[in-house]
Chain A
Amino acid sequence: MIPAGWFLSLGLLLFVLGIIAFFVKRDLLTQFLSIEVMLGAGNLAFLALARGPAKVEAQVIVFFVMTVAAAEAAVGMAIILLVHRRRRSIKTEDLRTLKG
């Protein structure tokens, strides 16, 4: 049986990779994917903990996260699609209208 620490380490690795990808990549779509990676990493950490003391709670939380992630993916993709349709671009440098 693989110890829980391995899973936690993998989750941490994936999470850091997600952060790095978010800052390195320049278009919304890949940044969006890296967020999904971070969410998956979080889920993995929860599941690893499900082997320990918080058996049921951790698994329930994972289901919630997956539900939210599914909804978020749908809305996020739709927004990105619309942004592309209006601006003909999803590069973050081109989307700076919030600048003060």
Chain B
Amino acid sequence: MNPFWLIPFPPAVGAFVLIVAGRKLSRKAVAWLACLAAAASFVLAVISFQSLLGGASAGRPILRTLFTWIQAGEFRADLAFRFDPLSAVMVLVVTGVGLLIHVYSTGYMSRDRSFARFFAFLNLFTFAMLILVLADNLVLMFVGWEGVGLCSYLLIGFWFEKPAAAAAGQKAFIVNRIGDAGFLLGILFLFLTIGGVSFGAINEAVAGGIIAPATATLIAVLLFVGAAGKSAQIPLYVWLPDAMEGPTPVSALIHAATMVTAGVYMVARLNPLYAASPAASEVVAVVGALTAVFAATIALVQNDIKRVLAYSTISQLGYMFIGCGVGAYAAGVFHLYTHAFFKSLLFLAAGSVMHALSGELDMRKMGGLRKHLPRTYPTFLIGAVAIAGVPFLSGFFSKDAVLTAAFAQGRYFIWALGLGGAVLTAFYMFRLVFLTFHGQERLEPEVKRHLHESPGAMTVPLVILAFFSVFAGYVGLPPVVGKHAHLFDRFLEPVIKPAEGGHLGLGTEWVLIAASVAAALLGIGAAYAFFLRDPRIPRRLGEKFPGLYRLLLNKYYVDEAYDAAIVKPLVQGSARVYDKFDLAVIDGAVNGSARAAGLLGRLLSLIQSGLIKDYALAVLFGMAIFLGVLFF
């Protein structure tokens, strides 16, 4: 008996108890309850995962239908879970990283007033995310999809007294609505075409050729709109940088490791559909590649430590979509998996820096922290090295897998964009490291007096995540190592068919690896030259190209453009409609009908004399007429 279908429920129970009784529990009880719920899910996930590894049923999807949820005419959606290698990877990442972040949060949030509320939302998020990755049909997946969106909104706006946080939460919610509309339309078209929404039905329909290529393209692109919203791709990425207003553990869990990867997971989950539509795959790959570079350029000049990481996340999500778009879904998921470790590590370490500096976010007011934060610094450095793509760490293997796949499919332009993005990635990450931890101290004196390393609850998760950031990649080594290569891809094979064709010779593989390494070292070297050896260079560059610098610093003015092109016309248009239609037509109709009734009443009241005798006379005549009619 595989207990996989129980995985989502411990956090649900935890969230329920914390929402109902959280105020009455002590902080210690809240922390234990939330962490135990997350730990229970993790243990269940590991047990379920083991049954997938060995034995006769290895790799075969396990389905379990709890009950029929919706049955309306031909439409049918079950509350059904599916456990296969792909969902196993996601479940392990969600529960594993989730557990570490729960533990970290007990330290990070220890002074917060709404301690119980925070953990209630965190548990609720874990529940929704597990529903999302375990769902066996798109409708149930959509429920999880919306659930994580709700939790994201609640947690971004966790400090809702701060106007910026409340606005950021709303922005995230509204931008995601646009994507979700596409997602929902995709589900509807899919149902209209094949008459079912379960993944089994979709795969069968694609294999049986029921879906025409044009229809498949339409459906796949609509679903990708949803993925672009959730996974912050062009043009719907604008909410993610603002989402950094939320507490840092939230940024690590939701906006780096798990929720934002839901779009990638969905595309990988529907890989037969995307494989059936080259045009949709093209869209995915191009959007991913553009986002990867675009977001990386913005990250080059940001001064807020969390915003740099946010743009970095957008950029890395772009890499995952490159993998999916060129048909190497396994590579995309592999990057998702390694990214979950090193990016949540980077966020948590950044949170540790903020914790030490009384909430300071501006890198210009940091510097030289390496001596003061002896445990945060090495873990952050490991995360930075991993994401930069330095050999032998997890990020190197996964990014290389994505880029090699793009090259092998003959998509040289996308490969070149990805490689350029890799240089930028290494550069901005090490700019972050050098500005924060090296160089001279630029701390405010008040901040400096309170400077302290974070407690164990925060540094232990950092160390564990650092361990995985280094070693998680060894399950997916490149083909040059021989027979132990691509273990990860082979594990996923029951769900994701390997891409056809495009096998490269060993020589080419080595050249590509060398190119990746060179990109990483170039970026790091440039960052060293700019920010450590001669810190005056960036300023001089900024003065030499003031237009470009301002363009990047202001994030290409995309927010302003959206504001001018969409938000303002919408707001002003609504105001005009309110004036012209609501006030004039609707209110006019309502008030007018009342006035007409009043006028009629006043007219009728003219026949009232107020004298009882007149009324009695009317009754008498009425009665006489009545009787007359009756008898004669």
Contact = CB atoms under 8 A, between A and B. Distances in A.
A98 B610 contact: yes
B56 interface: no
A100 B607 contact: yes
Given A19-B620, A23-B617, A99 B609 contact: yes
Interface in A26-65: 28, 31
Contacts of A95: 610, 612
Interface string A70-100: 0000000000000000000000110111111
B606 A100 contact: yes
Nearest to A25: B613
Contacts of B593: none
A23 B607 CA distance: 20
B616 A96 contact: no
A50 to B, nearest CB: 23
A100 B613 CA distance: 16
B57 interface: no
Contact of B608 (A23, A92, A93, A100): A100
A7 interface: no
Main secondary structure of the interface of B (DSSP, over half): helix
Contacts of B604: 100
B605 A93 contact: no
Contacts of B605: 100
B611 interface: yes
Contacts of B602: 100
A23 B609 contact: no
Contact of A96 (B606, B607, B609, B617): B609
A92 B617 contact: no
A99 B612 CA distance: 10
B620 A93 contact: no
A23 B613 contact: yes
Nearest to A97: B610
Contact of A98 (B606, B608, B616): B608
A95 B611 CA distance: 7
A96 B611 contact: yes
Contacts of A93: 611
Contact of B610 (A23, A31, A99): A99
A92 B609 CA distance: 12
Interface string B589-618: 000000000000010111111111100110
Contacts of B612: 28, 31, 92, 95
Contacts of B613: 22-23, 92
A71 to B, nearest CB: 21
Contacts of A31: 612
A42 to B, nearest CB: 13
Nearest to B607: A100
A93 B609 CA distance: 10
Contacts of A97: 610
Contacts of B610: 95-100
A92 B611 contact: yes
Nearest to B602: A100
Interface string A2-35: 0000000000000000010011000010010000
A78 to B, nearest CB: 17
Nearest to A19: B620
Contacts of A28: 612
Centre residue among A22, A99, A100 by max chain B CB count within 10 A = A100
A100 to B, nearest CB: 3
A79 B10 CA distance: 71
Contacts of A99: 608-610
Nearest to A24: B613
Contacts of A96: 609-611
A87 B470 CA distance: 99
A58 B611 CA distance: 35
A98 B609 CA distance: 7
A23 B615 CA distance: 11
Contacts of B608: 98-100
B626 to A, nearest CB: 15
A28 B604 CA distance: 26
Nearest to B616: A22
Centre residue among A19, A92, A97 by max chain B CB count within 10 A = A92
Centre residue among B602, B607, B616 by max chain A CB count within 10 A = B616
A58 B284 CA distance: 93
Given A100-B605, A100-B606, A23 B611 contact: no
A31 to B, nearest CB: 7
Nearest to B608: A100
A23 B608 CA distance: 18
Nearest to B605: A100
Nearest to A99: B610
Contacts of A92: 611-613
A32 B604 CA distance: 28
B134 to A, nearest CB: 73
A99 B610 CA distance: 4
Contacts of A100: 602, 604-608, 610
A29 B358 CA distance: 89
A33 to B, nearest CB: 14
Nearest to B615: A98
Nearest to A23: B613
Nearest to A93: B611
A20 to B, nearest CB: 11
Contacts of B611: 92-93, 96
A89 to B, nearest CB: 13
Nearest to A98: B610
A70 B262 CA distance: 81
A97 B609 CA distance: 9
A31 B612 CA distance: 10
Interface string B433-469: 0000000000000000000000000000000000000
A23 B616 contact: yes
A31 B605 CA distance: 25
B620 to A, nearest CB: 7
Contacts of B617: 23
B551 to A, nearest CB: 76
Nearest first, the 10 A-B pairs at minimum CB distance are A100-B605, A99-B610, A96-B610, A100-B608, A98-B610, A92-B612, A100-B606, A98-B608, A99-B608, A99-B609
Interface of B: 602, 604-613, 616-617, 620
Given A22-B613, A100-B606, 7 more contacts: A23-B616, A23-B617, A28-B612, A95-B612, A99-B609, A100-B604, A100-B607
7 contacts: A19-B620, A23-B613, A92-B613, A96-B610, A100-B604, A100-B606, A100-B608
